[in-house]
């Protein structure tokens, strides 16, 4: 028997409800496909409110150490208290574990109402750099000692005059850009993707995002030496134009590779075209560790969390199953979920008739029923 231990964080808000239901789907699919020859052992770790209550910390060292040891995990949405002085837990996890590639596949699922005419034309993978750019978190408040020192330094050393301001620093490095591009090209080769588009604002930020573009092209030039020249097309698009292109010509795009902030905007905008972030999965992957997660938050506006939509988390688990080599189980889940939605079995957020909407558990049970119809 092949067994693998996977860590999970329930998450806050709707997290425990969608996590428990999703684990049931993943387990049932593994049992259905492999008949006991493969198995997942689940081990809970803690972050967010549950960790604060249990350990007195939103992100205990034990959680980070276990992720480093076991290498694979999946998490529900985590809440970072507003005004608490805590940084985003999601950002902290990504940076502390060096999960430098945020990978978000965005593809339309038939049966879901979308705000554009042809959502079926959207089938892209976004590779977003996870550890640099403004998300590095290097910033100081206006009137702070640090911001005043930096303003004075810029004035005295470079003759740059600034008003009293909050100050942020935007680092983008050759090393971190190139390793992301290498991962995107490898993904394209392994998944038969034909085009990578570098998305940047290099016309304005020439030495940060302009350099991001340059370094990505340098990696592609290295790969072309060992590949068929026409195997993967590489081009680039200015970030603001990319938003327009996604709406007008989504068929022209396959893989997008972006700095951190551009990728954050674009992944949500692309998700909106196919029905929203509630149906789009996500993964944060480094060289040795992978942490999968839904793209949405804790959904505090949902009055009854037992009615929450688990699709994003389920599909994040599908990405996880593919990552660990359980691709057959991943395919069964994806196909069953798509069939259930197409036939109108959906949760209230995407139901055309809310009175007939399914609860989280009812929806996941319906997915499991469709396993035998694959």
Q: What is the dihedral of CA 310, 350, 127, 30, to 10 degrees?
A: 30
Whether 230 has a pLDDT exceeding 80, the answer reads no
pLDDT of residue 190: 92
The maximal CA–CA distance of the chain, rounded, in angstroms, is: 72
Instruction: Please tell me the class of the 114-124+171-274 domain.
Output: alpha beta
pLDDT in tens, 97-122: 999 999 999 999 999 999 999 999 99
Q: What is the pLDDT of residue 229?
A: 55
Residue 143 has pLDDT above 90, yes or no: yes
pLDDT of residue 228: 62
pLDDT at 302: 85
pLDDT in tens, 248-266: 999 999 999 999 999 999 9
Q: Assess whether pLDDT exceeds 80 at residue 269.
A: yes
Give which of 101, 107, 263 is closest to 197, Cα–Cα. Answer: 263
The reply to whether 213 sits in an annotated binding site is no
3-state secondary structure of 335: helix
Give 1's DSSP letter: -
Give me the mean pLDDT over the 57-72 stretch.
96
Closest by Cα among 99, 147, 132 to 205: 132
The answer, yes or no, to whether residue 84 has pLDDT greater than 60, is no
**What is the share, in percent, of the chain residues with pLDDT greater than 90?**
87
Q: What share of the chain is helix, strand, coil (3-state, %, to 5)?
A: 50, 15, 35
DSSP assignments along 68-125, one per residue: HHH-EEEE------TTSSPPPHHHHHHHHTT--EEEEEEE--TT---SSS-GGG-EEE
Q: What is the DSSP letter of 157?
A: H
- Give me 123's structure tokens: 């089938």
Q: Which residues have C-beta within 8 Å of that of residue 351, sequence separation ≥ 6?
A: 357, 358
Whether the pLDDT of residue 236 is over 80: the answer is yes
Structure tokens at 181: 């591009």
% of residues, the chain, pLDDT over 70: 97
- In the predicted model, what is the mean pLDDT of the chain? 93
- Residue 206 in marked binding region: no
Q: Say whether 87 counts as a known binding-site residue.
A: no
- Answer yes or no: are the C-beta atoms of 304 and 361 closer than 8 Å: no
R_g (Cα) of the chain, nearest Å? 22
- The confidence band for 299, taking pLDDT boundaries of 50, 70 and 90, is confident
88: annotated binding-site residue? yes
Does the structure show a pLDDT above 90 at 128?
yes
- The mean per-residue pLDDT over the stretch 43-60 comes to 94
Query: Under DSSP, is residue 323 helix (H, G, I), strand (E, B) or coil?
Result: helix
For residue 287, name the pLDDT band (cuts at 50, 70, 90).
Answer: very high
Rounded Cα gap, residues 105 and 356, in angstroms = 29
Report residue 295: phi and psi, to 5°: -85, -10
- Tell me the average pLDDT across 192-197: 95
Residue 321: per-residue pLDDT: 98
Residue 65 known to bind ligand: no
Q: Give residue 82's pLDDT band: very low, low, confident or very high (50, 70, 90).
A: low
Cβ proximity of 185 and 223 under 8 Å: yes
Superfamily of domain 1-105+280-373: Isopropylmalate Dehydrogenase (3.40.718.10)
Question: What pLDDT does 354 receive?
Answer: 75
> Is 334 annotated for ligand binding?
no
Report DSSP letters for 256-320, one per residue. EEE-HHHHHHHHHHHHHHTT-GGG-EEEEE-SS-EEEEESS---TT-S-GGG---HHHHHHHHHH
Question: For tokens 């803690």, what's the residue?
Answer: 46
The residue that leads in pLDDT, 313 or 302, is: 313
Query: Which two three-digit tokens encode residue 338?
Result: 């798509």
128 marked among binding-site residues: yes
Domain ranges of the chain: 1-105+280-373, 114-124+171-274, 134-169
Dihedral (Cα; 128, 131, 133, 135), 10-degree rounding: 100
* pLDDT for 372: 85
Please compute the mean of the pLDDT values over residues 286-312 and round it to a whole number. 92
pLDDT: which is higher, 80 or 179: 179
Q: Does 309 count as an annotated binding residue?
A: yes
Nearest to 27 by CA among 374, 368, 372: 368
Tokens representing 180 are 């992301």
Helix (H, G, I), strand (E, B) or coil at 167: strand
pLDDT band at 42 (very low <50, low <70, confident <90, very high): very high
- pLDDT tens for 16-40 read 999 999 999 999 999 999 999 999 9
Which residues, 6+ apart, have CB-to-CB distance to 158 below 8 Å?
none
Residues 323-360: tens digit of each pLDDT: 999 999 999 999 999 999 999 999 988 887 777 899 99
> Which residues are the active-site residues?
135, 201, 240, 264
């Amino acid at each position: 028997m092949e067994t693998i231990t996977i860590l999970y964080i329930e998450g806050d808000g709707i997290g425990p409800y969608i996590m428990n239901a999703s684990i049931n789907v993943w387990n049932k699919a593994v049992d259905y496909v492999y008949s006991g020859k493969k198995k997942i052992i689940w081990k809970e770790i803690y972050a967010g409110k549950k960790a604060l209550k249990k350990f007195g910390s939103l992100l205990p060292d034990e959680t980070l150490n276990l992720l480093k040891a076991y290498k694979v995990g999946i998490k529900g949405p985590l809440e970072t208290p507003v005004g608490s002085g805590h940084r985003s837990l999601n950002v902290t996890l990504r940076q502390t574990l060096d999960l430098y590639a945020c990978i978000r596949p965005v593809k339309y699922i038939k049966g879901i109402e979308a705000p554009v005419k042809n959502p079926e034309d959207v089938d892209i993978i976004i590779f977003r750099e996870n550890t640099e750019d403004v998300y590095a978190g290097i910033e100081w408040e206006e009137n702070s000692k640090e911001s005043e020192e930096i303003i004075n330094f810029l004035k005295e050393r470079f003759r740059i005059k600034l008003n009293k301001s909050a100050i942020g620093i935007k680092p983008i490095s050759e090393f971190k850009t190139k390793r992301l591009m290498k991962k995107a090209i490898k993904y394209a080769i392994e998944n038969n993707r034909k085009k990578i588009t570098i998305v940047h604002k290099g016309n304005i930020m020439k030495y940060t995002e302009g350099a991001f573009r340059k370094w990505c092209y340098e990696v592609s030039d290295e790969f072309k030496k060992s590949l068929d020249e026409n195997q993967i097309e590489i081009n680039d698009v200015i970030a603001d134009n990319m938003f327009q292109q996604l709406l007008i010509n989504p068929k022209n795009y396959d893989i997008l590779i972006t700095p951190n902030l551009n990728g954050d905007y674009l992944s949500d905008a692309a998700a909106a075209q196919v029905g929203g972030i509630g149906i789009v999965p996500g993964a944060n992957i480094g060289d040795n560790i992978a942490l999968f997660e839904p793209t949405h938050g804790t959904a505090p506006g949902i009055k009854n969390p037992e009615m929450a939509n688990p699709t994003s988390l389920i599909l994040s688990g599908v990405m996880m199953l593919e990552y660990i080599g359980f691709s057959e189980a991943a395919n069964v889940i994806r196909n069953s979920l798509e069939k259930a939605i197409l036939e109108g079995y959906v949760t209230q957020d995407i139901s055309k008739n809310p009175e007939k909407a399914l609860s989280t558990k009812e929806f996941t049970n319906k997915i499991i029923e469709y396993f035998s119809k694959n």
